[in-house]
């Protein structure tokens, strides 16, 4: 793999951490995006670990150029920043980066071990992802993924189109660009609210909300307790809070125990939707490591709800949706760019 990091101290730490895993081999490290482009002319690493703020060529522009010319899996690795800076991170993901992770801080920091372990796990998984060249004009993949339709019949789809009251979406590794693709396909007058749990490093959620507000027609919010969700609005679960719907239909945030070491957890959202809305909910499970939300997507389907899982071909990591499909939890299995149009058809008034 290649490490792109302008701080020599941070670069040494990252290389040391990465090479502590015998399954990872660092074949080079460079100090800016321009040097990364030069390196890739002669070598092809399985994955690139990319900083954002660097001299000569920053991480966003370097990602854009790499994905247009010699695509390779790119993982953005950056320290917590303010909203403007994290928005750049998500622009890089729009340009083709497939994951965003927090940069491990100094040894001895309370979150160092967890952050370092997440770095190693993400790099290992992303090294196996197949990426495609992005077009220079749009930043979209040069060829769209095909749709894989599920087993739900036309009658079920028509019933869902008349009855859906809320859409719940869960995502983890590789999720932000897929969410952007889905939400950008929806009109600003989308007839139901959308609740989203995205596993993401602390501090990056405001930047993601800002990026989605700028790149989609919907109104994006970080959820607040007691808010009555509105059609055409999207509510993101805040850092370290489970999100669900209360009996009166308002958003509920809790600090209840983590589920599978996760808070927020997709499982908590889907379970809430199954209890409150049952067949009138619509659940979507996207790319991600592990199995968060998989059993609960099956619960939603058992309650009569329409459920969608992202297909293997368009998933950065087919963990969560793959488990849901294996459990029989998905009434539809769709490529990333087919999910938005499906949500329109399934909720048409």
d(CA 17, CA 42): 25
Q: What are phi and psi of 83, to 5 degrees?
A: -60, -40
CA atoms within 13 A on the CB side of 58: 10
> Among residues 118, 199, 221, 332, which one is catalytic?
199
Calculate helix-pair angle for 336-346, 154-163, nearest 10 degrees. 70
Specify whether 221 is catalytic: no
By CB atoms closer than 10 A (0-12, 13-18, 19+), residue 228 is: exposed
d(CA 170, CA 190): 19
By CB atoms closer than 10 A (0-12, 13-18, 19+), residue 229 is: buried
> Among residues 6, 292, 311, 337, which one is catalytic?
292
> Among residues 172, 272, 315, 331, which one is catalytic?
172
List the one residue out of 242, 122, 103 whose CA is nearest residue 175. 122
Dig out the tokens for 117 from the structure.
């372990």
Specify whether 239 is catalytic: no
Specify whether 85 is catalytic: no
218 Cβ neighbours under 8 A, 6+ residues apart: 183, 186, 188, 190, 194, 212, 232, 233, 234
List the one residue out of 268, 349, 338 whose CA is nearest residue 308. 338
DSSP 23-42: T----EEESSHHHHHHHHTT
Residues tagged active-site? 172, 199, 292
């Amino acid at each position: 793999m290649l490490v792109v990091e302008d701080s020599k101290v941070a670069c040494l730490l990252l290389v040391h951490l990465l090479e502590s895993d015998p399954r990872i081999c660092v074949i080079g490290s460079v100090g800016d995006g321009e040097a990364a482009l030069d390196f890739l002319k002669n070598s092809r690493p399985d994955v690139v670990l990319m900083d954002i703020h660097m001299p000569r060529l920053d991480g966003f522009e370097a990602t854009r150029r790499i994905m247009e010319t010699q695509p390779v899996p790119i993982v953005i690795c950056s320290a917590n920043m303010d909203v403007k800076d994290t928005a750049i991170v998500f622009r890089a993901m729009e340009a083709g980066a497939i994951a965003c992770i927090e940069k491990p801080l100094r040894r001895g920091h309370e979150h160092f071990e967890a952050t370092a372990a997440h770095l190693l796990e993400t790099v290992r998984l992303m090294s196996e992802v197949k990426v495609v060249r992005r077009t220079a004009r749009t930043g979209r993949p040069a060829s769209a993924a095909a749709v894989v339709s599920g087993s739900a019949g036309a009658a079920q789809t028509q019933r869902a189109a008349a009855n859906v009251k809320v859409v719940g979406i869960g995502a983890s590794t590789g999720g932000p660009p897929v969410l952007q693709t889905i939400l950008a396909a929806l009109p600003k007058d989308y007839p139901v609210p959308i609740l989203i749990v995205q596993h993401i490093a602390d501090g990056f959620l405001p930047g993601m909300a800002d990026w989605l507000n700028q790149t989609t027609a919907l109104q994006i919010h970080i959820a607040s307790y007691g808010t009555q969700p509105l059609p055409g609005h999207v509510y993101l679960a805040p850092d370290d809070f489970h999100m669900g719907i209360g009996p009166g239909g308002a958003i509920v945030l809790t600090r209840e125990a983590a589920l599978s070491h996760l808070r927020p957890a997709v499982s908590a959202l889907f379970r809430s939707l199954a209890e409150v809305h049952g067949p009138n909910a619509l659940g979507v499970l996207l790319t991600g490591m592990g199995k968060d939300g998989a059993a609960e997507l099956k619960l939603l389907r058992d309650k009569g709800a329409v459920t969608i899982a992202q297909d293997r071909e368009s998933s950065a990591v087919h963990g969560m949706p793959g488990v849901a499909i294996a459990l029989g939890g998905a009434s539809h299995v769709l490529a990333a760019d087919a999910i938005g149009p499906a949500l329109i058809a399934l909720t048409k008034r």
